[in-house]
């Protein structure tokens, strides 16, 4: 079957839309290759260029595969696999001849659309990919339809097909057994970018996140949101320092101490919440303070880090519980000594200051350090000046401007130098409540570092030295703050209403994203199990659920089939009756249709024997064929056919005829 030109153009337009996101992800030098393939195919369709010879297609294939290998060092994985599929799809267009080739290209296009969801699962991408499916389906109809280009017809018919598939899609999504890992959780290449808290801290690396509005995680509490003073989300705990950089204990404690579960006595009831964590390509979770329980697939370390056994490479939802008031258990000798360790030659002025407090009790040493930050002219600055070879000395005695990691590192150094075990904890602090849907949004800009000190009576105690800085010594250095404090005042503009409107819009859109994350992307094995338990379906077992799914799909298909048959039967019966009236009128004048004679052949014979009936007969046959075999709309064309047959009066055949 020869492909109609309008069908080929529809196919090329749909594939261009499907490939566009993939082209934007390819290495820059690779994009011209794929664009050239699409442009070549367009020239073939518009200018009737010949298809390239076989040897040239083979050469282009080798170049494409070599380009993927050069760009990704592999042909496997989400990124490399989608790049290879993009290349193969472009090359397939250069040998497109028959309807079979077009079907292969269409289904490859569907695979590209599905593959796009492996890379990005945002709601924007979901809507865009749905439009791609609509365009590919419209191209499929255009290739199979004999009529000329009628764009609204193709899109309308494609939309109707997608709507008809919606009930079965919903049934499969809700009832089909979910995988324990989502399909889009396939391993990514090592080049995949990630943002957020790191497993180490150098002065200034947390402040790099301060202007990022990216969401780190969202939290929905079972009860009221705890006070802001308790909203410390615990991440990597850092023990080892060279005077500038802080690292975890992996190189300094034996494995038996690294993964020994932390022990503590709780002083309050646990706070229960659901934490939806964005992918950050690391093992740590960010629970509130100290976890009250350890979910399956996780481990709690000796310093109370909650770690996933697998890297968080896709958005995950965790049901957690935490305590915010507690007393930790005894401290092992190895950890006690590690909590006092400092490099011998680094930051001598800091050591000298701490030596003045060494004779005091531990709590008094903590208070002395906090008072030092409060009483001396220290400033909280998101753009602190650079530091020299002894960064803590430079911060404490020269610049006195810093971000949370400066204060945490300086405080822990002072504590250790004075004989109090201490460590740095990184994570997030605070969050903003979304009033639209009553959950907490924690962004990358909420990244924070604080300290923990060991007190014999209380165990590990959180101390946040950054909080000691008075509000009047906080520098406003973000772009938004500068604009509000200068330009708005100069222009005498009241921005409160605009800020409220933008905040409302942002909260509503984030609520939509959260619903998308919870009920579409987050609909995993556990959530499906909970839903089926609520519906009472799990009492039948998974075999029963699958049987129910099959029965429900069969019922939907049966209902659709019966509806279509009844609709077609009503239309077909009326059409046959009208056409039979036309044939009966001709039979009365001796022009009887033969059983083997089709409507077009019958019309030609009528025109040959009765030229005076040619025009009216051709009008009737055209409407009939359009309704019976073509795209005719029964609502408009059937009344026209009925009227034409009613006007048709062939009269009595004369002897001379």
pLDDT tops 80 at residue 520: no
Shared domain check, 642 and 590: yes
For 455, phi then psi, to 5°, come to: -115, 130
Section 158-184 average pLDDT: 77
Shared domain check, 378 and 293: yes
pLDDT tops 80 at residue 530: no
pLDDT band at 214 (very low <50, low <70, confident <90, very high): confident
Shared domain check, 231 and 136: no
- Residue 399 or residue 82, greater confidence: 399
**In the prediction, which pLDDT does 557 show?**
78
Shared domain check, 221 and 153: no
**In the prediction, which pLDDT does 208 show?**
61
pLDDT tens sequence across 433-466? 988 888 999 998 889 999 999 998 889 999 999 9
Shared domain check, 272 and 128: no
**In the prediction, which pLDDT does 177 show?**
76
**In the prediction, which pLDDT does 554 show?**
84
Note whether 342 and 416 are within 8 A (CB): yes
Q: Is residue 512 part of a domain?
A: no
Section 45-63 average pLDDT: 87
Section 135-142 average pLDDT: 89
Shared domain check, 236 and 166: no
**In the prediction, which pLDDT does 440 show?**
93
DSSP 612: G
Q: Is residue 267 part of a domain?
A: yes
The residues near 547 (Cβ < 8 Å, ≥ 6 apart) are 540
Section 595-608 average pLDDT: 88
H or E, element range at 169? helix 151-175
**In the prediction, which pLDDT does 454 show?**
94
Range with the lowest mean pLDDT among 230-244, 349-363, 616-630?
Answer: 616-630
Section 174-192 average pLDDT: 55
> What does pLDDT average to over the chain?
82
pLDDT tops 50 at residue 654: no
pLDDT band at 204 (very low <50, low <70, confident <90, very high): low
* Distance between CA atoms of residues 295 and 414, nearest Å: 37
Range with the lowest mean pLDDT among 149-158, 235-244, 332-341, 546-555?
Answer: 149-158
| 3 state SS of 433 | strand
Shared domain check, 353 and 295: yes
The token pair at 181 is: 């890992």
Number of C-beta neighbours around residue 225 at 10 A: 17
The token pair at 301 is: 């370390």
Range with the lowest mean pLDDT among 336-345, 366-375, 518-527?
Answer: 518-527
Give the domain-ending residue among 445, 460, 489: 489
Section 600-625 average pLDDT: 88
Shared domain check, 421 and 333: yes
Shared domain check, 466 and 594: no
* Distance between CA atoms of residues 103 and 139, nearest Å: 10
pLDDT tops 80 at residue 44: yes
Percent of the chain predicted with pLDDT > 90: 21
H or E, element range at 265? strand 264-266
Shared domain check, 462 and 553: no
Shared domain check, 587 and 443: no
Give the domain-ending residue among 468, 489, 510: 489
DSSP string, 48-113: -PPPPPHHHHHHHHHHHHHHHHHHHS-S-SHHHHHHHHHHHHHHHHTT--BHHHHHHHHHHHHHHH
pLDDT tops 80 at residue 218: yes
Q: Is residue 536 part of a domain?
A: no
Q: Is residue 656 part of a domain?
A: no
pLDDT tops 60 at residue 76: yes
pLDDT tops 80 at residue 206: no
pLDDT band at 8 (very low <50, low <70, confident <90, very high): confident
pLDDT band at 544 (very low <50, low <70, confident <90, very high): confident
The residues near 617 (Cβ < 8 Å, ≥ 6 apart) are 603, 606, 607, 648
Q: Is 223 exposed, middle or buried (0-12, 13-18, 19+ CB in 10 A)?
A: exposed
pLDDT tops 60 at residue 184: no
| 3 state SS of 367 | helix
DSSP string, 300-345: E-TT--EEESS---S-EEEEEEEESSEEE----HHHHHHTT---TT
Sign, CA torsion 583/589/590/591? negative
The residues near 482 (Cβ < 8 Å, ≥ 6 apart) are 476
pLDDT tens sequence across 285-305? 999 989 998 888 888 888 899
pLDDT band at 188 (very low <50, low <70, confident <90, very high): very low
Q: Is residue 273 part of a domain?
A: yes
Give the domain-ending residue among 176, 211, 231: 176
Q: Is residue 620 part of a domain?
A: yes
Percent of the chain predicted with pLDDT > 70: 86
Section 333-344 average pLDDT: 90
Active-site annotation, residues: 404, 448, 464
* Distance between CA atoms of residues 637 and 632, nearest Å: 6
pLDDT tens sequence across 305-323? 999 988 888 788 889 999 9
Q: Is residue 506 part of a domain?
A: no
H or E, element range at 553? helix 541-587
Number of C-beta neighbours around residue 51 at 10 A: 15
Range with the lowest mean pLDDT among 308-317, 529-538, 604-613?
Answer: 529-538
Q: Which residue has the tokens 């000796």?
A: 302
Shared domain check, 261 and 162: no
Q: Is residue 616 part of a domain?
A: yes
H or E, element range at 416? helix 404-417
Q: Which residue has the tokens 């022009």?
A: 591
Q: Could you give the angle at the alpha carbon of 99 between the alpha carbons of 96 and 103, nearest 5°?
A: 85
pLDDT band at 196 (very low <50, low <70, confident <90, very high): low
Domain limits for position 578? 544-647
Section 583-603 average pLDDT: 88
pLDDT band at 406 (very low <50, low <70, confident <90, very high): very high
Domain count within the chain:
3
Note whether 317 and 522 are within 8 A (CB): yes
């Amino acid at each position: 079957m020869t492909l109609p030109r309008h069908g080929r153009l529809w196919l090329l337009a749909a594939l261009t839309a499907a490939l566009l996101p993939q082209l934007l992800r390819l290495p820059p030098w690779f994009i011209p290759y794929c664009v050239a393939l699409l442009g070549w195919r367009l020239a073939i369709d518009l200018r009737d260029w010949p298809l390239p010879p076989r040897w040239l297609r083979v050469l282009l294939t080798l170049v494409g595969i070599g380009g993927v290998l050069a760009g990704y060092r592999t042909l496997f994985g989400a990124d490399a696999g989608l790049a290879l599929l993009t290349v193969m799809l472009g090359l397939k267009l250069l040998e497109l001849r028959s309807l079979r080739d077009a079907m292969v290209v269409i289904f490859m296009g569907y695979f590209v659309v599905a593959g796009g969801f492996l890379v990005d699962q945002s709601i924007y991408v979901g809507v865009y990919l749905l439009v791609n499916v609509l365009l590919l389906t419209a191209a499929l109809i255009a290739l199979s339809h004999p009529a000329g280009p009628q764009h609204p017809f193709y899109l309308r018919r494609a939309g109707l097909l997608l709507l008809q598939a919606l009930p079965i899609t919903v049934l499969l999504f809700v009832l089909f057994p979910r995988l324990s890992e989502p399909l889009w959780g396939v391993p990514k290449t090592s080049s995949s970018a990630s943002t957020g808290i790191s497993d180490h801290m150098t002065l200034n690396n947390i402040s790099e996140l301060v202007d990022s509005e990216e969401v780190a995680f969202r939290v929905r509490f079972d009860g009221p949101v705890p006070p802001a003073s308790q909203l410390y989300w615990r991440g990597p705990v850092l023990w080892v320092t060279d005077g500038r950089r802080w690292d975890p204990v992996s190189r300094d404690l034996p494995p038996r101490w690294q993964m020994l579960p932390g022990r503590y006595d709780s002083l309050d009831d646990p706070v229960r919440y659901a934490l939806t964590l964005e992918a950050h390509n690391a093992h740590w979770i960010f629970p509130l303070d100290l976890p009250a329980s350890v979910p399956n697939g996780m481990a709690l370390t000796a310093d109370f880090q909650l770690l996933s056994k697998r890297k968080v490479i896709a958005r995950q939802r965790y049901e957690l519980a935490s305590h915010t008031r507690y007393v930790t258990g005894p401290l092992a000798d190895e950890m006690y000594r590690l909590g006092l360790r400092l490099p011998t030659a680094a930051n001598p002025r800091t050591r000298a200051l701490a030596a003045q407090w060494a004779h005091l009790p531990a709590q008094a040493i903590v208070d002395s350090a906090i008072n030092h930050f409060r009483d001396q002219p220290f400033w909280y600055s998101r753009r602190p000046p650079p530091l020299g070879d002894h960064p803590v000395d430079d911060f404490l005695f020269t610049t006195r401007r810093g971000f949370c990691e400066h204060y945490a590192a300086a405080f822990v150094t002072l504590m250790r130098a004075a004989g109090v075990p201490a460590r740095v904890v990184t994570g997030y602090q605070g969050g903003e409540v979304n009033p639209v849907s009553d959950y907490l949004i924690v962004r990358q800009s909420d990244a924070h570092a604080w300290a923990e000190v060991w007190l014999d009576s209380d165990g590990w105690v959180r101390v946040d030295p950054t909080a000691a800085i008075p509000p009047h010594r906080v520098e406003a250095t973000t772009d938004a703050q500068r604009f509000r404090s200068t330009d708005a005042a100069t222009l005498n503009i009241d921005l409160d209403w605009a800020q409220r409107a933008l905040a409302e819009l942002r909260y509503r859109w984030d609520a939509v994203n959260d619903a998308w994350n919870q009920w579409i992307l987050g609909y995993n094995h556990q959530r499906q199990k909970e839903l089926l338990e609520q519906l009472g379906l799990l009492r039948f077992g998974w075999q029963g659920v699958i049987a129910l799914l099959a029965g429900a799909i069969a019922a939907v298909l049966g209902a659709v089939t019966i509806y279509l048959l009844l609709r077609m039967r009503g239309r077909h019966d009326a059409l046959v009756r009208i056409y039979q009236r036309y044939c009966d009128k001709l039979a009365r004048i001796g022009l009887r249709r033969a059983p083997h004679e089709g409507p077009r052949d019958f019309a030609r014979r009528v025109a040959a024997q009765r030229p005076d009936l040619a025009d009216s007969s051709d009008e009737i046959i055209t409407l009939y064929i359009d309704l019976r075999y073509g795209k005719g709309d029964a609502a408009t064309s059937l009344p026209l056919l009925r009227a034409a047959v009613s006007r048709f009066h062939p009269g009595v055949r004369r002897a001379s005829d």
